[in-house]
Chain A
Amino acid sequence: MSQSRMERECRVYARYLTGQEVDRYVAGKYAGCHATGRIAEPTEPFDCFLTDVSVRGPLWTRLADAYASRFRKDCVLRKKLVLTLALLECSPATFEYLEGVSSGSRAGALVRMAGDGMLFAAALPLAILLFFPVQLWMTVTGR
C-alpha cells in the first residue's frame, strides 16, 4: 500500500475517532505498525470494499464501522481503527482528549451519551441498507 494511502487512512480515522488532525508522529507510527505485519491488508473482497469505503471521509468511516461492529467485528478495518486509537492515546497531542471529558455534570454526561447512542442507532440501519446488499452480492458471485 502506498505511503499516501496509509497517511490518508490515518488522518480520516483520527478525525472520525476524535475530530482532531494527526501529526506526523502518529501518521509515521501508523505506517510503521503496518510495516511490521501486525495488521495484514485485507484479502477478502468485502473487507477490501469496507476499508476502501471507509477512507472516503469520517462519515463513511462511521457507516463502515457501524456495519463492521455488528457483522465483522474482527475485520481489518476495525483493526486499523483500534491501531489509530492506540496511537492517539499514547501521543502527546491527543492523549488528554481521550482520557475523558474536561468537566460537566452527570446530566451533561447522560445527554452526551444519549446523543452518541442515537447517532449509532441512526448509522446502523443506514449502514445495513448500504452494505448488506453489497456483502450479499459479493458472497453470491464470489467476487
Chain B
Amino acid sequence: MDPVVVVGSGASGVHFALTALRKGHRVTMIDVGHARPMPVNPADSLNGLKQHLEDPARYFLGESFQSLILPGHGSEYYGFPPSKTHVFKECKEFRFQADGFAPLVSFAAGGLAEAWTGGSYPFNDDDLQHFPFSYSELGPFYGEVARRIGLSGENDDLARFFPLHDGIMDPLALDEHSALLLETYRKRSSYLNGQLHSFLGRARLATITRDYAGRKACDYSGRCLWGCPSDSLYTPAVTLRECRTWPTFEYRDGLYADHFRFDLGGRVRTLVALDNRGGTQEFAADRLVLAAGTLCSAGIFLESIRRDSGKCVELRGLMDNRQVLMPFVNLGMLGKRFEARSYQYHQLAIGVRPPVAQDYVHGLVTTLKTALIHPVVQNLPFDLGTSTSLFRNLHAALGLVNINFSDHRREDNHITIEAGPQGRRLLVRYRPAPDEPQRLARMKSHFRKLLWKLNCVAPPPMTHVRPMGASVHYAGVLPMTTTAAPLTCTKECRSNDFENLYFADGTTFPHLPSKNLTFTLMANAIRIAEQAF
C-alpha cells in the first residue's frame, strides 16, 4: 500500500505524523524545510552572549543589520531576531497578493511554531460551540499533546476558561514583576472578578520545569526570543526529530508541495512537488494530509482544482485573531532592577468573560526583561536622550498585554487563485467585522481600567492595533460541518470533495476563539489520526 503523505512539518503535521506512525502507518512528509541554525554558546545566558561573543551585534542585529528596527518601520514593538530568520525565509514558489491582510507563512522545518511563545490554551465548550465535537471529545488529545511536549501551568482562576487536562507540570518560577501583578490581583480579585469580569492567572506554557523526555528543564537563560538553546521551550522540530527515528517515516525536505492529481472518482492519486532545481517529483499517496498551514493548504487545494478543471474556486470564511498590544508601566516596580536570568515570554494570562461566551477575550501579560530596547525607546514621545534615560528608570516596571480577539467566518473574506503571465498566485482578501471598531474601543478601555486596578498605567498613545495577519492564526476556509457540502470537511477533517484528502491544520476550524490555536491544532491533528486512520 502507498504511504500516507503529509505536507508540512509544523505543529499539526508532526503530531499527525507521529500518531499515524504509532498506529503502524508508513508516512512520507513533504516539506520545504528551511533548517534552523545550531544554537550559539548554549550554556550562556543572554547577557553572557553579549559578554562572550566575538561579534555580539552580528548575533543580535544580524549580518546585514536586518533585525535593527529603525524609525518609520511601522510601529511594531519588536522584530524577529536573526536566529529566527529561517522561520520566515521565503519560498519563491509561493506568491500571493493580499488585500486588507498581511500574511506571514513559514517554510521552516517545524513551521511557524518555531517562533511561537509557547502559550498552550485548550478550547472549552464555549469556544467549541460551532465545532462538530465538544471538549469531552477533544480533552484526551490535549492531555496527549501535553505528555508529548511537556507543559507547565497551574490550577487557578483561569481554569474556568482553560479546562484542566492531563500532563500539566508545575509552573515556572515567576519573575518579580509578574509576581507583583499576581499579588495585586489577589488583593483586588473580588472587584476585578465581580465588576470587570476579569481573571488573572498563570499562563499555560509549553516550557518544561523539570527534565523531560530527553530535554532539559528551563534554566532561565533569558534567551527565549532568540531561540531556546536547550529546547526547554517546545517547538515542533522536537517532534520532527522523534518522527525521524521511525524506520517507517520518510522526511523529504527541499520540496514545495504544489498540487495533487486525482481520478474521476474524486480520489487523490499523487502529490506533485517542485524541487529547488526547477524539477518536479510525484509521490503516490494512499491518503493525503495537508498540514501546511491554512494559506498554503488552501493554495494546494485550489491549484489542484484549477489544473484539473481550469476553474479558480473561491474559498470563503478566512479568519484571523485581531491583536492589540497595550504597553503599561507598573508603578510598584519603579526604581527596581529586573532580573536578567528569567523566563522571557508571558508568564501570566488574563481572561475577560464577555456577555456572549464566544466573545471571550484573551490577554497575555509579558513583563519586559531582556528584550532589545531600541524598538521601544524610539516610540516614546521625546528625544532619544530623554527616552533612553526614562527607559532606564522604567525598564523593570514595563510590561505589555497582548489582547487577542475571536473571529468568525464571513463570506466576504476569501482566498482564491489567479493564473497570469507571471505565473500563478494566491489572492487573499480580508475585511474585519463591521462592529470591530466599537469592540476594540470597548476592550481597550476595559483593559486600561483593569491595569489601573493592578496599579499599572497604560498610556493610550502607546496602544497599537496590529494589522490583520500579524497574529498568524489563520483558519476556516474549508470548515468542518455535520452536513456534507462542497468545499467543506467532515468532523474527521476529511474533504467532502476528495475522499482520501484530509486537512490537519486550521483550514477546517469553523470558528476562531481568541486563544492561541497552536495547542488545539496539535490536539486536533492527533484526534484526526486516531479517529480516521
Contacts and interface: CB of A to CB of B under 8 A. Distances in A.
B85 interface: no
Contacts of A104: 335
A105 B381 CA distance: 25
What DSSP secondary structure best describes chain B's contact surface? helix
B128 interface: no
B440 interface: no
Interface in B399-452: none
B56 A100 contact: no
B57 A91 contact: yes
Contacts of B195: none
Interface string B368-387: 00001110011001111110
B483 interface: no
Interface in B40-72: 47, 50-51, 56-57, 59-61, 64-65, 68-72
A55 interface: no
A82 B383 contact: no
Contacts, number: 141
Nearest to B337: A100
B384 A65 contact: yes
Interface residues of B, number: 41
A63 B390 CA distance: 17
B21 interface: no
Contacts of A117: 386, 390
A116 interface: yes
Contact of A85 (B72, B377, B396): B377
Interface string A70-90: 000111001101110111011
A58 B388 CA distance: 14
A61 B388 CA distance: 14
A66 B384 CA distance: 8
A22 to B, nearest CB: 12
Interface in A92-142: 92, 95-110, 112-113, 116-117, 119-120, 123-124
Contacts of A110: 334-335
Nearest to B333: A106
B395 interface: yes
Contacts of A25: 57
